[in-house]
Amino acid sequence: MPEQTSPPTGILPTHEFVDGKVGPGCKKVDPIVIADGVTRQFGGNTAVDVQHLEIPRGKITALIGPNGAGKTTMFNLLTGFDKPNTGTWSFDGTSLANVPAFKVARSGMVRTFQLTKSLGRMTVLDNMLLGADQQGGEGMLRALFKPLWRERETEITAKADELLARFKLDAKREDYAASLSGGQRKLLEMARALMSSPKLIMLDEPMAGVNPALVQSLLGHVKELKNDGTTVLFVEHDMHMVTNISDWVVVMAEGQIVAEGPPETVMKDQAVIDAYLGAHHDQDLGDLDIQELEVERIAEEEGVEAAAEYEAEVLGTTSIAEEIAETKAETAPETKESDSK
Ligand SMILES: Nc1ncnc2c1ncn2[C@@H]1O[C@H](COP(=O)(O)OP(=O)(O)OP(=O)(O)O)[C@@H](O)[C@H]1O
């Protein structure tokens, strides 16, 4: 197995999911995805440079990392939505390199997108039916065996209804998808992805834009998927979700896997602290609430208002955001002076 970086700190030496030592690119006891030498360049920029990655079967794995780390690009490559410059990978023992996206989905690996792809001018039910796989046969065959096709249609509609009920979208069955809230669309996209009964579901920022009232049910749905035997891989900036539901965390920075391990230890890894929480590298995350750091990150990247909203939702306070706002206000006059002509 190729070595990727210097040995991580704060990571357990062994773990039940791992065959050998825990660390970036470590081998798993029962991997469902194995990737080797996957690289993707955009012009001179190397977006992904993953030497080795294994995703444990039947577990919930979080893929985290700062903006631009290469997480979505890695998702796109694994699912056939983008082509790598180099690399091979397998899913459930079958090579999927250069396999187009629709075939990847048929093989049992489906994904959702950061920005939801539900079709607004179709009903919620029709969106669901689109997610069903094509096991019933197509074209001529379908026309010749209409009764069989009808049977299949009844079957998939029943499945859609079952999933809509599970995701509490049954009341919206006949509504246009465009009328759903952002959070409901996320749920619809997840429900639709499940229409084909995938072995692996990959969720790209499932929490982004989700109303706090829906957060708990979304977390519950993801946990249920695991209980049903589905492997889950998700990209997320929401540390609440990462620490609460993941069994395993993989950290990317600058295209590479810089750390991996169980959530309770990976957050103390020096590589994670350096890469993901850069400004706080000298602080012990064991004593610091990771959510407080998240508030600071949001304040830096999205502004104090967004940070205050997050803080209120997750911590039930606004004091950290207020403090940041005060500090910003104190330093603001200097900036204005230097900016003035
Ligand atoms: N289609 C593209 N063309 C050019 N550059 C791209 C393209 N897609 C991604 N990149 C670049 O590749 C790098 C990795 O981007 P990517 O979106 O995969 O990161 P990410 O970790 O998913 O970030 P975020 O958390 O912000 O979604 C970034 O530098 C990005 O600008």
- Note the ipTM here: 0.97
pTM more than 0.90: no
CA nearest neighbour of 75 among 57, 45, 102, 101: 101
3-state secondary structure 84-96: CCEEEEEECCEEC
Q: Which atom of ligand 1 is nearest to the CA of 72?
A: 22
* Residue of 71, 77, 298 to test ligand 1 pocket, by largest number of atoms within 8 Å of CB: 71
Q: Which residue has the tokens 């395993």?
A: 248
In contact, 206 and 234? CB cutoff 8 Å: yes
- Look up residue 177 and give its DSSP letter: G
In contact, 60 and 247? CB cutoff 8 Å: yes
Using CA positions, which residue lies closest to atom 16 of ligand 1? 70
Domains delineated in the chain:
1-118+185-280 (3.40.50.300), 120-179 (no CATH), 289-341 (no CATH)
Per-residue pLDDT at 76 exceeds 90? yes
Q: Please tell me the distance between residue 66's alpha carbon and the centre of ligand 1 in angstroms.
A: 11
* Residue of 40, 41, 42, 74 to test ligand 1 pocket, by largest number of atoms within 8 Å of CB: 42
Q: Give the span between the Cα atoms of 272 and 249, in whole angstroms.
A: 11
Q: What is the pLDDT of residue 1?
A: 44
Q: Please tell me the distance between residue 100's alpha carbon and the centre of ligand 1 in angstroms.
A: 20
Instruction: Kindly state the tokens that stand for 259.
Output: 């750390």
Q: Please tell me the distance between residue 145's alpha carbon and the centre of ligand 1 in angstroms.
A: 46
Task: Look at residue 266 and give its three-state secondary structure.
Answer: helix
Q: Please tell me the distance between residue 51's alpha carbon and the centre of ligand 1 in angstroms.
A: 18
Q: Please tell me the distance between residue 204's alpha carbon and the centre of ligand 1 in angstroms.
A: 13
Q: What is the pLDDT of residue 276?
A: 67
CA 116 to chain CA centroid, nearest Å:
13
Convert the pLDDT of each residue in 26-72 to its tens digit: 999 999 999 999 999 999 899 999 999 999 999 999 999 888 999 99
CA 302 to chain CA centroid, nearest Å:
20
Per-residue pLDDT at 196 exceeds 60? yes
Q: Please tell me the distance between residue 146's alpha carbon and the centre of ligand 1 in angstroms.
A: 46
Q: Which atom of ligand 1 is nearest to the CA of 255?
A: 14
The full length of the chain comes to 341
Q: Give the span between the Cα atoms of 40 and 212, in whole angstroms.
A: 35
* Residue of 73, 113, 256 to test ligand 1 pocket, by largest number of atoms within 8 Å of CB: 73
Q: Give the span between the Cα atoms of 116 and 242, in whole angstroms.
A: 20
Which of the four pLDDT bands, split at 50, 70 and 90, describes residue 287? very low
Q: Give the span between the Cα atoms of 176 and 55, in whole angstroms.
A: 36
Per-residue pLDDT at 285 exceeds 50? no
What is the identity of the amino acid at 253? A
Convert the pLDDT of each residue in 223-280 to its tens digit: 999 999 999 999 988 777 788 889 999 999 999 999 999 998 887 777 777 776 554 4
Calculate mean pLDDT across residues 86-90. 96
In contact, 74 and 89? CB cutoff 8 Å: no
Q: Give the span between the Cα atoms of 56 and 38, in whole angstroms.
A: 18
Write out residues with Cβ below 6 Å of ligand 1: 42, 45, 47, 65, 67-73
Using CA positions, which residue lies closest to atom 6 of ligand 1? 42
Q: Which atom of ligand 1 is nearest to the CA of 40?
A: 12
Put the strands of the sheet holding 86-91 in their side by side order. Answer: 45-56, 31-42, 86-91, 94-95
Q: Give the span between the Cα atoms of 260 and 24, in whole angstroms.
A: 5
